[in-house]
Chains A and B, each alone.
Chain A
């Protein structure tokens, strides 16, 4: 199969648009999903736990 330049340009322009929008949506959903809140709160406070030894 041979693609000409125009086809490739059209594909890359539209594909870039769609996959970036999809990714942005996925990231927003993941970050704002209510049940993830507890995990994120734990994570952001975890750096203040005792950190002078590796975990058991």
Chain B
């Protein structure tokens, strides 16, 4: 990766990682009596590693001018590998944290392994580690192909990719140590948040600068979705993380908002993170890789534009449905509920558009597990957005809220939609990136598909049953007007479902491991193929194997 940089870009990489090392050292010194100091050492070690990497290749020959006639795909390749690493890590902790509910002793008396700490490691690991890296990797690929322009320089994509992963490392290691600002999906503390802002602005600038250089007059719709994802996540992240640290030598901070305002800001963030991180970005993937793999243009380009603006403007209002029956003003709750129901229109427009694209290519869906991943993703997108609109209705929410139904809904979206479209896109992308005819093993793609689908269905059905039983038990009164069941009664009733959920999660995790192996073997296949091709050109014609041939 370093030898692709020009000498001045290598120098820039050394300067930036040197500055980062200084920041890490400063954090380690001023935060020596605090966990901030530990994170200082993490930052220091990380940046010294980058410096060593760049320095070891600093004297390599510069890349030739010829590079400018190719797309810049190195960051995409590394991003794919990182996404799969995070997938395995994040899903492993997911299985563990699910098992913890069925068998609470699995913490082994270690503080870092308690439910409250490894649960955010799972959520951040899969959302930000796996999802984020996959988004960065695919967005670079789609952006270049659809604008027919190369990325503006070689340094900034690496800065985004590596800097983003530093953020993920800080987040995960912080949770193990007990560092959290207690905002769901926004747990990292202030210094990690500040670092992410810098990384994210550079990411947005890459997008803008490449679009400026585009050779294609029209900006393809996938890029609109990716751009909305980058821009809105920046806004959400900044506003929700406005906080004042206790001191500069302290990891702890306090939110700028208080009480119900803080809750509203958090769920405005939380639900729009679903909208723009977990939906818009992945719709960007879907609108490029699905037509590409199916060999058919998107069914209706107009519908894709209309649903884009529908999602963009309506999601912003939906977050307050997380706060039904709270101190939030009634009209704000109703507003959130109404917009959540109306959101079904653009969501189903996208899901329907994807499925209609496949109309006439169903034989390909039958034969090609990669395309089937994308098809199932579109189906789950339709199902879970319907469920979401339904659950946002106040009366339904009174049954579903705080129960496992919510967990099941989230995973119908996360496993069925986000992970499936990602795996489908990666299976399409990996052979293109490493110049192979196909994946190392199409049979393993098939195995992965069935593992993922079975796992998702077991998981979602377990959580539906569990959640509805839970909700009903909590609201059942006896003749004398008191609760019929104690909380522990409902907990005992959950036990079989928690075991089923662990099994479902385990199958899904196993699928991710199979995918990682398959992708890794595809990469090795390309490495083996390269020297053989060069060698063939260099050597005289081979001796005939069969005499007289």
Which residues of A lie under 8 Å from residue B71 when comparing CB positions? 52-54
Is A46 a contact partner of B220 (Cβ separation < 8 A)? yes
A15 interface hit (Cβ, 8 Å): no
From the candidates A13, A28, A32, A44, name the one contacting B291 in the complex (CB within 8 A): A44
Is B302 a contact partner of A47 (Cβ separation < 8 A)? no
Which residues of B lie under 8 Å from residue A9 when comparing CB positions? 331
The B interface, classified by DSSP as helix, strand, loop or mixed, is helix
Chain B residue with the shortest CB-CB distance to A5: B329
Q: A55-B149, A55-B215 are in contact. Are A44 and B70 (CB under 8 A)?
A: no
**Cα–Cα distance between A47 and B220 once the two chains are bound (Å):** 8
B301 interface hit (Cβ, 8 Å): yes
Further pairs besides A44-B297, A54-B70: 17, Cβ < 8 Å: A16-B335, A20-B313, A20-B314, A27-B306, A31-B303, A31-B305, A39-B218, A42-B218, A43-B301, A47-B145, A47-B220, A48-B292, A48-B295, A51-B148, A54-B150, A55-B215, A56-B215
Is A46 a contact partner of B146 (Cβ separation < 8 A)? yes
Which residues of A lie under 8 Å from residue B216 when comparing CB positions? 46, 55
Q: How many residues of B contact A (CB 8 A)?
A: 34
B103 interface hit (Cβ, 8 Å): no
**Cα–Cα distance between A39 and B219 once the two chains are bound (Å):** 10
Of residues 17 to 51 in A, which have CB atoms within 8 Å of B's CB atoms?
20, 23-24, 27-28, 30-32, 39-48, 51
| Per-position 1/0 for B132-144, Cβ under 8 A of A | 0000000000001
Binding site for B on A (CB under 8 A): 9, 13, 16, 20, 23-24, 27-28, 30-32, 39-48, 51-56
From the candidates A13, A16, A32, A45, name the one contacting B302 in the complex (CB within 8 A): A32
Best-surrounded residue of A9, A13, A20 (most CB of chain B within 10 A)? A20
Chain B residue with the shortest CB-CB distance to A30: B305
Supply 28 A–B pairs (Cβ within 8 Å), ascending by A: A9-B331, A13-B331, A16-B335, A23-B313, A24-B309, A24-B313, A27-B305, A27-B309, A31-B303, A31-B306, A40-B218, A40-B301, A40-B305, A42-B218, A43-B218, A43-B220, A44-B297, A44-B298, A45-B297, A46-B216, A46-B218, A47-B145, A48-B295, A48-B297, A54-B71, A54-B148, A55-B216, A56-B215
Of residues 147 to 206 in B, which have CB atoms within 8 Å of A's CB atoms?
148-150
Which residues of A lie under 8 Å from residue B303 when comparing CB positions? 31
Chain B residue with the shortest CB-CB distance to A23: B313
Is B144 a contact partner of A54 (Cβ separation < 8 A)? yes
From the candidates B70, B146, B335, name the one contacting A53 in the complex (CB within 8 A): B70
B41 interface hit (Cβ, 8 Å): no
